[in-house]
Structure 1
């Protein structure tokens, strides 16, 4: 007997509410899907992709849900353009039209070669080009887990192309199981609507402790560049000016910086260093230089997983009080949770018409 991925009673409990949602508020999501399909068909078809330019890339960033949480969408667009226009074109040609290559290779090529194009953005584009592909993002993962999919089947960190391929197959199987109960969800994009609805409306029904145990987070698996992007995304969402790979002085660089200009006080800044592995001594020396050379920096924040943060605290405990007081620590899992809450807050403000 084929293994079942979801709890059928969960589908039965949510489908009537979801149908009302799709007949009401969900209409705007359908319209966005149609508009996004038209945009991608127009500019990213095999015949037209060679003509895309910076304006098209900036419009793409505005349309993709993967960048919804960015307040200043010029930042991710500008970062993407640092890849180079020809390299961006080549990446999208490989992703969308080099069908002789397996999807895992095409996914990895874009993920590794086009700045700011991570798994959520890549999968969203693929899903709008071909409904055999699924959207991979935090809401989809939360929705699948609520339906009963085991965390072990869901790659949640540092997604690779082969894992995305498995994820699409899993979503197709889930769709088949849902279709045994309702004909309301007909393809993987409509499945994404359902998972989005569940993530927004049903997760609070779960016991908080049980829900956290189901997350399956393995923070040691984080990708360094992806976490830098999350740090800048969070800072942007909180209203700071942000910059990644900020050069303080020749030979001294910090992974990310948040800035805020305050009347009568000038500029205050917060510097972030993401540490996954490597020499702690070298990292500490660099952080000391950052504080000494950039006087606007109020705090330097080390971003890592719990065990690594504790190791840093032990080493820093013997250093000067001024340096110790200038240090803060941010766990990777707390960073992700902060972004989740930021997304939720923006969704609520958008619903009441307070977001531009």
Structure 2
């Protein structure tokens, strides 16, 4: 960790606290209220929670800010996992006796729809002395503080990595405690990162610095499968955030199930369809074949091959004469990740304005 950067950020944080007490107290009290709300849920209460209360329980998470219709998101969560199983898995994650690493990995494997950001946020509220929020902001801020080996893709957000992240956050907490009497738990560390360190991350100077990227072509077969699923989920989410009817694993025509489909209905005239196929490693033959078959559907306006730069070059070359060139698009995986993260941040910011009533 770059102690100089950390000390400078803490110094500025302390000055802000003294010169803008109202702002600081308002933001800190919001965190205290969230912590108090989630700590009213015991293991027994969570196991017997109703669907209506569960909607509030999940809907209040910061990680849910990107969604205007939280009812839809929670219904899908229950549908995909089963309500009883979902509650049991949450209880094990939050209150289980096995190691944090095992509980984390088990939950990620067993539950669909709640990722590292939501998992860590719940853990932080339940026990802010031990757990910190583990999301894109955390990673960006830790990277700015020159903490190495920060994850880029979701498959790298392992239980072992989360334990490491919590240990680093505890070191930051100790430094923060030196500046005052406030109990700087790991929820306070998150506030410090968000309010003071993130602006440095987003500064023009810092954005211009190069970042080390783990290229998809260097990963293992198992990691490739995980990356494929992650990019597929991000494309599906991007479509939803843009207002499309977005779905994954869709049968687009006879013999062709494609990774993601965006649909836009045009009044009562029909719909326009955009098809996406993701390639993270290996042969590109099946991708080209699926995109070719998708083109036989007259509603398909464009087919999009998604991969890394080297693979996209091969796809363009090998699809010549097979796929209609005018309807083939390519999308770099790095761009998908950046677009997803930017859209998420934009929706979080807009939804914080509460321009429309909360749609639970």
Specify if TM > 0.5: yes
The aligned residue for residue 16 of structure 2 is 17
Aligned residue for 2:260, secondary structure, equals: strand
The aligned residue for residue 336 of structure 1 is 337
Aligned residue for 1:277, secondary structure, equals: coil
- 1:307 and 2:310 correspond: yes
Following superposition, the deviation at residue 57 of structure 1 comes to: 4.2
1:234 to 214, 238, 248: 238
Give the gaps of 5 or more residues in structure 1.
Answer: none
The whole-number CA distance in structure 1 between the counterparts of 2:174 and 2:318 is 53
The aligned residue for residue 81 of structure 2 is 83
- 1:270 and 2:277 correspond: no
Following superposition, the deviation at residue 254 of structure 1 comes to: 1.9
- Per-residue Cα deviation, 1:35-63 (whole angstroms, up to 9, x for no partner): 46424633xx2212322354344334422
Residues 194, 3 of structure 1: alpha-carbon distance in 2 compared, 3 angstrom cutoff: closer
Give the gaps of 5 or more residues in structure 2.
Answer: 220-225
Aligned residue for 2:188, secondary structure, equals: helix
Following superposition, the deviation at residue 169 of structure 1 comes to: 0.8
- Check the 8 A contact 2:306/2:331 in 1, yes or no: yes
| Aligned ranges 1:172-183 → 2 under 5 Å | 172-182=170-180
Aligned residue for 1:149, secondary structure, equals: coil
Following superposition, the deviation at residue 289 of structure 1 comes to: 1.8
The whole-number CA distance in structure 1 between the counterparts of 2:39 and 2:103 is 17
The aligned residue for residue 288 of structure 1 is 292
The whole-number CA distance in structure 1 between the counterparts of 2:18 and 2:251 is 51
The whole-number CA distance in structure 1 between the counterparts of 2:356 and 2:27 is 15
| Aligned ranges 1:1-356 → 2 under 5 Å | 4=3, 6-17=5-16, 23-24=22-23, 27=26, 30-31=29-30, 34-35=33-34, 37-39=36-38, 41-42=40-41, 45-81=42-78, 82-99=80-97, 101-131=98-128, 132-146=130-144, 148-150=145-147, 152-157=148-153, 158=155, 159-182=157-180, 186-198=184-196, 201-207=199-205, 210-211=208-209, 213-214=210-211, 216-220=212-216, 223-249=227-253, 251-263=255-267, 265-293=269-297, 295-320=298-323, 322=324, 324-350=325-351, 352-354=353-355, 356=357
- Check the 8 A contact 1:139/1:199 in 2, yes or no: no
Residues 180, 246 of structure 1: alpha-carbon distance in 2 compared, 3 angstrom cutoff: same
Aligned residue for 1:135, secondary structure, equals: coil
- Per-residue Cα deviation, 1:66-119 (whole angstroms, up to 9, x for no partner): 2222344344334322122232133113212221x1111111111111111111
Residues 3, 299 of structure 1: alpha-carbon distance in 2 compared, 3 angstrom cutoff: closer
Following superposition, the deviation at residue 127 of structure 1 comes to: 0.8
The whole-number CA distance in structure 1 between the counterparts of 2:206 and 2:239 is 27
- Check the 8 A contact 2:35/2:125 in 1, yes or no: yes
CA RMSD, Structure 1 to Structure 2 (Å): 2.9
- Check the 8 A contact 1:61/1:77 in 2, yes or no: yes
Residues 348, 66 of structure 1: alpha-carbon distance in 2 compared, 3 angstrom cutoff: closer
Aligned residue for 2:44, secondary structure, equals: coil
TM-score (norm 2): 0.83
